[in-house]
Structure 1
Amino acid sequence: MVAAIAALPKPGPLQKSLICDGFSKRFNFEQVSERKKRNFNSLVVASGSKSSSKGGSERFYLNFTGFPFPLGPFLNRITIRTEVVKNSIWLFEQEQALGFSSVSTNIRMTVIKLKSGGLWVHAPIAPTKECIQLVKELNAPVEYIVLPTFAYEHKIFVGPFSRKFPKAQIWVAQRQWSWPINLPLEFFGIFRAKALVDEDESTPWFDEIEQKVLSAPEVGIGPYVEVAFYHKRSQTLMVTDAVIFVPRQPPECISKESLLASAKNGLAVKLLSKGKEVPEEPVVDNKSNRQKGWERMVLQILFLGPSNLLEPTASFAQMSQKLIVSPIVKTLVFSKVPEKVQDWIDRITSDWRFKRIIPAHFAAPINASRSEFLAAFGFLDELLGEQYITRPSLSLLFASLMGKAASYFPPDDMKTLSSLDEFLVSAGVVKKTVSGRKR
């Protein structure tokens, strides 16, 4: 459970750990294997993925940050670059795991070419030689580096990445913090950073990219902060953790070794097997076992302690192939401040006519409009009541119907997360609902 919590880009004291930028250094080793190409589902649009042809020393980055829950991989990080909009938007992805666990997901950096010819970088990832080379292949200078959240798995790479592009300006979401000691940004290697302000028309990219800030200091020991961006020309919405789309197949950057390790029937599977006998047979490298490993990873990431890891397929089917709010974010954050979240998504959907969404994890880009985005937040209607609903009736009806499907999480799988929420509330780590009708 602790492993899954710390591996996620979600709020909570286990994740807001001390980070020392000085521990992040690059080392040279031999590459273990090449990754087989995998396709995203039909609702995800992307063209021409590419990684460096060299590999080897280009992919290694010693990462021992995030004490006491460091995020892996510690040595080997393949970077996959995908062009989303020709000569305009690219996605860079790496694997993200908790320490030595078998639970991994992908972490994503989005790069946009501005009219000036420079690059705007959203949520930097580990600056391996391969990653930096793939950025330089775009043949444009990095002008701006943006940290859109407080979450440390995004924050730890801003300093090292910015040193590769010393002329770039750094822009950071306000109310940054760390746990158990609230340290200044300079401790993380982030210097001379400018603040991202809600709907700030003075930002140098405002004519091309707009921003709206969600800041909720009431949630727990530190505020939840996320900045949404809208690229006008491509009609693209960029978020960090607000919504996700779990693909049927694992992201290309997740290693075969990680998938097969997750497919093994270890202690977690034995504990979460609904009392069924767990066979202890060797894991053969095949498509079926890699898929099983991915399904188990997803359920642990979303639920911490799902009801049945031995047979994950049914629960995985309920959570994949649709735009949703992660159960952890929904339970520990958004349900605590429903009015603020509703105001944020209402401003996003009323002002921005997006046709695709790029989150920082799982699948992207996602073909989705304002209706699908509203539907993912359908659970807020129950928390707030009709007096807070401002959307037109037809839109509300459609979003309500879609929202019931998007917000359905298997009750058995939610038990561990609900118990954790109750414990964190009783311990004073996470607060009760501070607005709305229900807890």
Structure 2
Amino acid sequence: MAHDERAVSAGQIHPGDFSWSFWLSLPLYPYGKRRTIRKEVVKDTVWTFDQIQGIFYVVVPVRMTVVKLDEGGLLVYAPVAPTRECIRLVNELVVEHGNVKYIILPTISGLEHKVFVGPFARCFPNAQVFVAPSQWSFPFNLPLSWLGFPQKRTQVLPEDSSKTPFADQFDYATLGPIELGPGRFAEVAFFDKRSHTLLVTDSVVCVPEEPPAIVQLDPYPLLFHAKDKTSDIVEDNQANRRKGWQRISLFALYFQPSVLEIPRWSEVFRNALKATERSKKAYFGLFPFQWRSDWKRSFDALRGDGRLFVAPILQTLILNRAPRETIDWADKVASWDFQWIIPCHFDAPIKAEPHQFRQAFSFLEKQPAVSAGLFNSSSYPLPEEDFKLLREIDKGLNQFGIVPKALEKV
């Protein structure tokens, strides 16, 4: 695997390169300013483009993957914001490898992916756009053309992957749609046969111990979450960046793990009033986090040995609505001969074999299968106490009839 990373060098930086003027369509941090890092992960074949997004400085990577086509040209999986910097980095590949021919939207519910497809497609007017089936929008289910997708160039991915113009190089499998009451969830996994690389959106992740490079371009969110109390002034060093990143990961994947206590809002406001001017830079000094001294044990359990796993939110609120369908999809994906996995969030690329992908979904099984000589992912369960808030959310949504009841394990 290659490891070259490329962003605009310091001498070339211009504020307009990172500007994203349509940020109000998805008002997430960093709002109208988005940096991009390109990384070559398979030499002359596969590249990732990382940006960040989040809420309350809980920032995680959001990733686009570009794959060179055997026939010449490029396929783009899950576009990110097409800033000047991003498009310049893509066009450098276009010069060398040919035009962007296909743009893939592999999800139906992820606004952090869907909102960028139309603007990105307009930057490459000859590219065909393929979208996951059963698209929907909230609060009104609008035609894709109303959402900015180019009407004459947009089509739904066929159920049979052999019916696409890129079938010789790519296979794909669609999970869902899984009905969730007010919405649906679906994901399309793509397999590049040439590079033995699997592209997924949200289904599996791997959390790095160190903060990703894209998150470190602006370390303020990392240092914000490295604080233990409102008034802390945290030194910018790698240890504190790491501490902030690990806490961000726990918050992003659990909302509220057992090692995080939320103080009373009256206490939060009192502490904010006492905060120094420097510590008031973020959210007027509000800091509604109180981490227990043993908080790192939850991160260590989450990361494990760098294993692949399904995000707790998906485990608790989504995939358990369709366990049989999810297992069948995971079986199909695991039948492909991939060696690397590139998710749209957290770490990438991940060195992983098909059985490791399949075993990540063993939480849906009553008796997970154990392959001889291979680890069984059920031997590495995530701590049940960290699921407490997610279980409560799930119970509440079900009691009010907002989402269907979770089904029994298969």
TM-score normalised by the shorter chain: which range applies? 0.7 to 0.9
Is residue 2:218 matched to residue 1:260? no
Cα distance in structure 2, aligned partners of 1:259 and 1:188: 34
Partner of 1:196: 157
Cα distance in structure 2, aligned partners of 1:333 and 1:209: 27
Partner of 1:52: 8
Partner of 1:381: 365
Is residue 2:95 matched to residue 1:142? no
Is residue 2:406 matched to residue 1:433? yes
Partner of 1:92: 49
Cα distance in structure 1, aligned partners of 2:338 and 2:201: 16
**Contact 1:339–1:435, Cα closer than 8 Å, also in 2:** no
RMSD value over aligned CA atoms? 1.8
The alignment partner of 1:71 has SS state of coil
Cα distance in structure 1, aligned partners of 2:70 and 2:239: 46
Partner of 2:346: 362
The alignment partner of 1:292 has SS state of helix
After superposition, the C-alpha distances for 1:39-93 in whole angstroms (9 at most, x for unaligned) are: xxxxxx55111111222221221343356xx222112211111111111111100
Could you tell me which runs of 5 or more consecutive residues in structure 2 were left unpaired when the two chains were aligned.
261-290
- The residue correspondences of 1:161-310 to structure 2 (distance < 5 A) are 161-192=120-151, 193-254=154-215, 255-265=218-228, 278=229, 280-309=231-260, 310=291
Deviation at 1:375, TM superposition (A): 1.6
Deviation at 1:371, TM superposition (A): 1.5
**Contact 1:198–1:211, Cα closer than 8 Å, also in 2:** no
* Runs of 4+ residues deviating >4 angstroms: 434-437
After superposition, the C-alpha distances for 1:180-212 in whole angstroms (9 at most, x for unaligned) are: 222221222012311112332110000001111
Is residue 2:88 matched to residue 1:105? no
- Give the letter aligned to residue 137 of structure 1: E
Cα distance in structure 2, aligned partners of 1:49 and 1:403: 32
Deviation at 1:335, TM superposition (A): 1.2
Cα distance in structure 2, aligned partners of 1:411 and 1:338: 19
- Give the letter aligned to residue 227 of structure 2: K
After superposition, the C-alpha distances for 1:17-52 in whole angstroms (9 at most, x for unaligned) are: xxxxxxxxxxxxxxxxxxxxxxxxxxxx55111111
Normalising by structure 1, report the TM-score: 0.79
Cα distance in structure 1, aligned partners of 2:391 and 2:370: 33
Cα distance in structure 2, aligned partners of 1:394 and 1:102: 40
Cα distance in structure 2, aligned partners of 1:146 and 1:284: 42
Is residue 2:78 matched to residue 1:123? yes
Partner of 2:29: 72
**Contact 2:178–2:322, Cα closer than 8 Å, also in 1:** no
How many matched pairs? 365
Q: Cα distance 1:330–1:235, how it changes in 2: closer, same or farther (>3 A)?
A: same
The alignment partner of 2:171 has SS state of strand
Partner of 1:81: 38
Cα distance in structure 2, aligned partners of 1:63 and 1:297: 26
- Give the letter aligned to residue 362 of structure 2: G
**Contact 1:374–1:403, Cα closer than 8 Å, also in 2:** no
- Give the letter aligned to residue 300 of structure 1: F
Cα distance in structure 2, aligned partners of 1:66 and 1:378: 37
Partner of 1:160: 119
The alignment partner of 2:338 has SS state of coil
Deviation at 1:336, TM superposition (A): 1.3
Q: Cα distance 1:176–1:424, how it changes in 2: closer, same or farther (>3 A)?
A: same
Deviation at 1:434, TM superposition (A): 4.2
Deviation at 1:288, TM superposition (A): 1.9
Cα distance in structure 1, aligned partners of 2:391 and 2:362: 19
Deviation at 1:398, TM superposition (A): 5.7
- Give the letter aligned to residue 405 of structure 2: K
Partner of 1:423: 396
Could you tell me which runs of 5 or more consecutive residues in structure 1 were left unpaired when the two chains were aligned.
1-44, 266-277
- Give the letter aligned to residue 203 of structure 1: T
Normalising by structure 2, report the TM-score: 0.85
Cα distance in structure 1, aligned partners of 2:242 and 2:99: 39
Q: Cα distance 1:247–1:199, how it changes in 2: closer, same or farther (>3 A)?
A: farther
Deviation at 1:284, TM superposition (A): 1.6
Q: Which moved more, 1:364-373 or 1:183-192?
A: 183-192
Q: Which moved more, 1:227-236 or 1:255-264?
A: 255-264
The alignment partner of 1:201 has SS state of helix
Q: Cα distance 1:324–1:394, how it changes in 2: closer, same or farther (>3 A)?
A: closer
Cα distance in structure 1, aligned partners of 2:116 and 2:402: 27
The alignment partner of 1:244 has SS state of coil
Cα distance in structure 2, aligned partners of 1:289 and 1:187: 45
Q: Cα distance 1:95–1:409, how it changes in 2: closer, same or farther (>3 A)?
A: same
The alignment partner of 1:341 has SS state of helix
Deviation at 1:430, TM superposition (A): 2.0
Deviation at 1:131, TM superposition (A): 0.5
Cα distance in structure 1, aligned partners of 2:67 and 2:390: 36
The partner residue of 1:329 within 300, 314, 317 is 314
Deviation at 1:218, TM superposition (A): 2.8
Give % identity: 42
The partner residue of 2:328 within 320, 343, 368 is 343
Q: Which moved more, 1:149-158 or 1:58-67?
A: 58-67
Cα distance in structure 2, aligned partners of 1:242 and 1:398: 25
The alignment partner of 1:373 has SS state of helix
